[in-house]
Structure 1
């Protein structure tokens, strides 16, 4: 049997087996031997999938959670190389690249998430790498290097995963080590001069005791478009290009059968250019025409951009008894990202925003897992200490000139720091052979401190002289601190603003095992997104309260026959105390800059998610993933008012066909999938930018030699070259007759950012 056939049986995937070794990457136990099921009688039947959504190893069909799992083999067969592509296979899920960079993630599940990546704002979908929380969206568009599996958990995960998982969680699981010497080299060439190299492997430093693993990727691609005109000379004019490298090292130590240690390091540097947006309306201040291609742009800013990430993680696991496991998981992560965002995308200084993001956090988690005769218990203590800082200059040069000044800059700097701890537990109890009960609870206590310097400078000011040559900050023009505390009553802020929140989040679930192959489940769960302070504050204001989501689910997981699987979930939720930043004052004033953050809305939604698998023959399989969501606004005090969900279509659909052709020179796996997204808004409070419904076709063929050492794949993505929006800016006014007028900056700034066009790439690899 070839490596492909074995992997399709034993490795994690949306339709393949997760080996016990894979689960060990999450549970931190030494790799065990998977029970093989290589009999020919198992060909053409559904495979068992094991997941760790509840922090223990379980069968997907016995886990009462709405979850999609995409494994290493399926990722390779489809040529999926970046996290955002996983959205196609999970219903009601949006994972997209944000507006100005290649590495910032916009994530929504069931319409719950966070679009603004500014420091201080918390995500609504948690991102995890080997159970380590990735706190900021910068750098969260992960390129898939040495990955074993991606899990998408839908619905609030507040009990086991904590705050900021009101929509769900996405778990990136790296490959565990086998203990053998292994090496894999892979090269890819493709459209737009794509040139990728990936190296990975492992080596036993001490036989059966100490293993060293490594991975390295260098990813390059020319731009999908170009900057047609720039006010600065000698610039790299590529737009939507890619220039990134990433590396990781892992050391595993197995001192005894009961003790396991793992230490990891990873680093990523993304030097891809800042992305220029496409003007959806002509500029009224320049004579530059709207570009012919949605990937072309104009700019008055430097095109360079950078995202630097580095992290350390460590894990210790000790099996006290056959029933009790103790774990300690820790991490330290840092990120730094200077970026250039030309909001207006013209050669004039109409609305330029150079910015810097600087983040650092530490996490510590102690966990105890106990397995009894009729119950299991997961419990733990968690601590998080994070500092999130940044600055940006909103440079409105043309507007400043119209006011008779040398320029106009709104400068904002600040930090929004968080320290929190939590205690959690979840009990899964078998009442009898058919009925089981799950009870979970988490208590979180959090303190945040923040300060904001915010003010106007009547000049064009950049963060440093290196940002744009020739621009120097005028002396003495430092903006005042506007958010903090006045301890001596002299009217001068002299300390950060400080506020604390605490929250108890429960979960109650009941499961009924109707037969060996069918389980029904119902649950109530609660999650919350942290309270925070306004990072754009112009006056001293209190922090907003946490957002809270109360969610209800009713589902069934059934292997109706040994060739047909149906997993269906009905859900509804109430989303209260939603945090919105709105304009303060006259909404018709296009130069309004003052913004207020407050809990301004309550919404609700209900929907359905269905994931179906049919093994038609020994070699042919079909998969369908469908999501539907119906949204309701119950209270609406947002300014401007809330009108819908951001980046969330009412319907999503994916239909996939997979065929395995066996030949004398190796196996060839053919894949074809059609992915459909209904129309959707880009912003919750504006219908100025909308994406019409579209469908996307992807094709692939992957060959593997009989020996399993050589492999190659040919991949065609977005075959019909669909153009679809993933981000934008809308700084424009609209009259009663539907005409557009100037907004902030004095221009008709309506900008769109687009997903990837049609691409073709060829991958060749060798493993030994």
Structure 2
């Protein structure tokens, strides 16, 4: 927890910064700050951006939160087609596909995140689609089609959003059915045999019933060659369809209904660069059916790779009264997942069973219901949001693991894990105008969560015996309850119509869970909730007649009981598992800018800086550090192996750097619209830089074992052309990672290091009708 001295200094800094902002505004001069325009007057000005970061519609420049917004045009010009692409466009957001799973995104915001997709752990960065929370991280990388905008909220979201998160939230807002018939068709082809089709059609049945149907189909051969079979790996074979209906029974009632089905086949199998050819190769040896005689159930014949199938239904019914809007938001989602992966490259002799294979067949169901009210009172000086939220989850995971060699295979686990969740919350937030310029915000959320775990060895399964009774006999609870309060406080000051400053303090909390990948009953250890306080000061400003937008945020946060892998002593034996070994202190800031220096030319950029370090180290980890340093001093190879470069103690016996928290990130995108007689040309150039970061828990700046990645430089290019003689047609050619740079992005061991995707290119045609 933050000490009283540190908290006092932090609060004084916040108040001092807030007090200094009026002087900053005066130095800018009255002619540089203008009222926010509801819409850009022409292409030489910036448009007003509407967001729902506080669960109601607001101009982005009026929101006292660290939030970034990308609209449909941004997504198209910047080639953002999957949620993983967001990592190159948001400051202090670092991520990649989870090891083995192309459908799972690992997000870290301001140093808080995790890499675990198993259902016994929750995510610190939540993903939402139209205000409906997606519980599981195993299928949060989905193709984006017919999206209105994406909002990324940095910092804990503990008050207004459906599920408490400690790192942040990614909110995807889909386009609603239009009252005008029309749509689009897009087709593309590119490197590695990629083909991509996307389409959407609005078909209003009447002025009271509006409908929309959208779909996409995406496939590629894969960019990795499996050495022992010649097969192509890490390709894509995915499709999705979504239907939406908007009912307008009266002028004051709007009912939005939606349903979708998404079938994704996308893996992230370990590979390396062949030094002879420069191609990507995989020396894993796994082949379908090689484990059929060792494991039970249909998972034993899983195909190599990863497949998820998801379908969902949602509704949002809104009833507008004079000074009040009532919403009922309901969501249901079901996801099935199958995968067969191996994270051990096994060079130079691939093993058909895999060296460390994982077989998975799982079913995940969630249902949520939220009632929300937004209103105004006290002569419109008070804007308030109140609500109730409920989420229920059922998760069933059939998991098989083992160890393979050229001479045989040993089953280390063939078990089924069932876990449930019931989450209840009530929340309220009010924004009250103390004066016409000064607004105070107070919010609070009361949450209660109940979790249950059941584990059993599969009938006929080999390997260790697992059972809920044996887990409980080891003293591990299989029922967890957590009640917590997460408040928010903020002050915002409108210096003039184009400049706002704010200070805020927010708390977030993420529930505890279990080590679901345990290989013994006494290792299904329960860990505690993760808690964080974050304090911010910020500025939101539009200058130079709406041609320059500057949004700046400075933050200080302390997380308690961070859920990471570390040493834990069980019956005198030190094992490494997910637990709560430390806190995390981080401070830094983000600057986002958008500038239109001349008509048609737009620069968008951001800088993120942070200083993340672990604090409040547990006694177990301190003992491990001492043991590592003693083993290094005496050159004790066994002591070095057991204590160094494990958990989050590095190879020199020091506390490692927090994972995926680079000190500096810089992002720049430039788009220039050139009008000619032949049509419109629109080139877009994107640049993404960070100065390197830990990719494994034991990574440090001088790490020699691969757990630290070098500074990364990535370029993206896109050229769009709208021919004058064919209205509504856009032709484009683009590339991602255009210079084909290779970087390490995930780490399991010195021989199991995951790389970023190579350069890709494509050509596209997009036609509106």
Quickly name the TM-score band, shorter chain normalised. 0.7 to 0.9
**Pair 1:158-2:139 in alignment:** no
Is 1:427 aligned with 2:430? yes
Q: How many Å separate the matches in 2 of 1:431 and 1:451?
A: 52
Deviation at 1:71, TM superposition (A): 0.6
Match among 250, 255, 278 for residue 256 of structure 1? 250
Equivalent in 399, 403, 418 of residue 392 of structure 1: 399
- Mapped contact 1:123–1:164 kept (Cα < 8 A): no
Could you report, residue by residue, the CA deviation over 1:9-41 in whole angstroms, capped at 9, with x for unpaired residues? xxxxxxxxxxxxxxxxxxxxxxxxxx98575xx
| Counterparts of 1:536 and 1:224, CA distance in 2 | 30
Partner residue in 1 for 2:115: 115
> Are 2:176 and 2:244, in contact at CA under 8 Å, matched by a contact in 1?
no
Q: Contact between 1:374 and 1:429, CA under 8 Å: does it hold in 2?
A: yes
Cα distance change of structure 1 residues 83 and 507 upon mapping to structure 2, 3 Å threshold: same
Distance of 1:442 and 1:484 partners within structure 2 = 37
Distance (whole Å) between structure 2 residues aligned to residue 669 and residue 431 of structure 1: 46
Q: Which residue does 1:102 correspond to in 2?
A: 102
Higher helix share: 2
Q: In structure 2, what is the equivalent of residue 277 of structure 1? A: 270
Q: Using the TM superposition, give the Cα deviation of residue 499 of structure 1 relative to its aligned residue in structure 2, in angstroms.
A: 1.9
CA contact (8 A) 1:628 1:652 kept: yes
Aligned equivalents of 2:692, 2:576: Cα separation in 1:
29
- How far the C-alpha of 1:345 sits from its partner, in A, is 2.5
The answer to whether the Cα contact below 8 Å between 1:447 and 1:498 also exists between their aligned partners in 2 is: yes
- Provide the secondary structure at the position in 1 that maps to 2:222: coil
1:520 aligns with 2:501: yes
Query: Does structure 1 residue 245 correspond to structure 2 residue 258?
Result: no
State the match for 2:530 in structure 1. Answer: 547
1:556 partnered with 2:563: no
Q: Which moved more, 1:359-368 or 1:386-395?
A: 386-395
1:653-692 correspondence runs (5 A): 653-686=666-699, 687=703, 688=705, 689-692=707-710
- Return the match for 1:354 from 343, 350, 359: 359
Equivalence map 1:435-454=2 (5 Å):
435-453=438-456
The equivalent of 2:312 in structure 1 is 311
Which region of structure 1 is more displaced relative to structure 2, 720-729 or 626-635?
A: 720-729
**Aligned mates of 1:297, 1:710 — CA distance in 2:** 44
Q: Structure 1: how far apart are the matches of 2:146 and 2:49?
A: 20
Q: 1:505 to 1:295 in 2, by over 3 A?
A: farther
- Tell me, in whole angstroms, the C-alpha distance in 1 between the residues paired with 2:555 and 2:568: 36
Q: Classify the secondary structure of the residue corresponding to 1:416.
A: strand
2:309–2:335 CA contact under 8 A, matched in 1: yes
Structure 2 gaps of 5+ residues are 1-36, 289-303, 622-646, 650-654
Q: Distance in 2 between matches of 1:530 and 1:204?
A: 44
CA displacement, residues 225-268 of structure 1 (integer Å, 9 cap, x when unaligned) = 210114xxxxx811121111111111111101111112111111
2:479 aligned partner: 498
Within 2, Cα distance between the matches of 1:352 and 1:523? Answer: 47
> What are the residue-to-residue correspondences of 1:184-263 with 2, within 5 Å?
184-205=184-205, 207-230=206-229, 237-263=231-257
Q: Which residue of 2 aligns with 1:533?
A: 514
Query: 1:176, CA displacement in angstroms?
Result: 1.7
Aligned to 2:228, the other structure's residue is in SS state strand
Shift of 1:43: 4.1
- Correspondence 1:462-611 to 2 at 5 A: 479-482=465-468, 497-537=478-518, 538-540=520-522, 543-562=526-545, 563-582=547-566, 596-611=577-592
Residues in 1 aligned to 2:568 and 2:62: alpha-carbon distance in whole angstroms: 51
Per-residue displacement from partner, 1:153-181 (whole Å, max 9, x unpaired)? 11111101154421110011111222111
- In 2 relative to 1, CA 542–501 (structure 1 residues): closer, same or farther, beyond 3 Å? farther
1:327–1:368 CA contact under 8 A, matched in 2? yes
Could you tell me which of 717, 721, 734 is aligned with 1:703? 721
Aligned-partner SS, 1:87? helix
Distance in 2 (CA, whole Å) between partners of 1:290 and 1:305 is 29
Alpha-carbon offset, residue 605 of structure 1: 0.5
In 1, Cα distance between equivalents of 2:39 and 2:511: 46
Aligned in 2, Cα 1:277/1:38: closer, same or farther, shift over 3 Å? closer
Cα distance in 1 between the residues matched to 2:39 and 2:461: 74
Q: Give the CA deviation at 1:443.
A: 0.4
Asked if 1:752 is matched to 2:753, the reply is: yes
Tell me the distance in 1 between the aligned counterparts of 2:183 and 2:564. 49
Alignment CA distance shift 1:290-1:52 (3 Å)? same
Which secondary structure does the structure 2 equivalent of 1:616 belong to?
strand
Instruction: Give yes or no for contact 1:416–1:535 (8 Å, CA) kept in 2.
Output: no
Shift of 1:699: 1.3
Distance 2:740 2:661 in 1: 21
**Aligned equivalents of 2:216, 2:469: Cα separation in 1:** 43
After alignment, is 340-349 or 561-570 more displaced? 340-349
The answer as to whether partners of 2:359 and 2:401 remain within 8 angstroms in 1 is yes
How far does residue 193 in structure 1 lie from its aligned partner after superposition? 1.4
Distance apart, 1:561 and its partner CA: 2.1
Q: Distance in 2 between matches of 1:292 and 1:72?
A: 36
Residues paired across the two proteins, number: 671
Change in 2 beyond 3 A, CA 1:290/1:504: farther
Distance in 1, Cα, partners of 2:474 & 2:602: 68
User: 2:277 and 2:130 mapped to 1: Cα distance?
Assistant: 43
Quickly say closer, same or farther: Cα 1:48–1:289, change in 2 above 3 A: closer
Residues 268-293 of structure 1, C-alpha deviations (whole Å, 9 max, x = no match):
11134x4331369xxxxxxx999954
The CA distance in 2 between the partners of 1:657 and 1:242, in whole Å, is 30
Within 5 Å, which residues of 2 pair with 1:324-363? 324-346=324-346, 347-348=350-351, 349-363=354-368
Aligned residues of 2:672 and 2:683 also touching (Cα < 8 A): yes
Residue 267 (1) aligns with residue 261 (2) = yes
1:482 positional shift: 4.7
Does the 8 Å contact 1:77/1:713 carry over to 2? no
| TM-score of the superposed pair, with normalisation by structure 2 | 0.82
Distance change >3 Å, CA 515–CA 339, structure 1 → 2: same
Closer/same/farther in 2, CA of residues 514 and 358 from structure 1, 3 Å limit: same
Task: Tell whether the 8 Å contact from 2:584 to 2:613 is kept in structure 1 after alignment.
Answer: yes
Deviation digits for residues 382-409 of structure 1, max 9, x if unmatched? 000002231322211339x6xxx86342
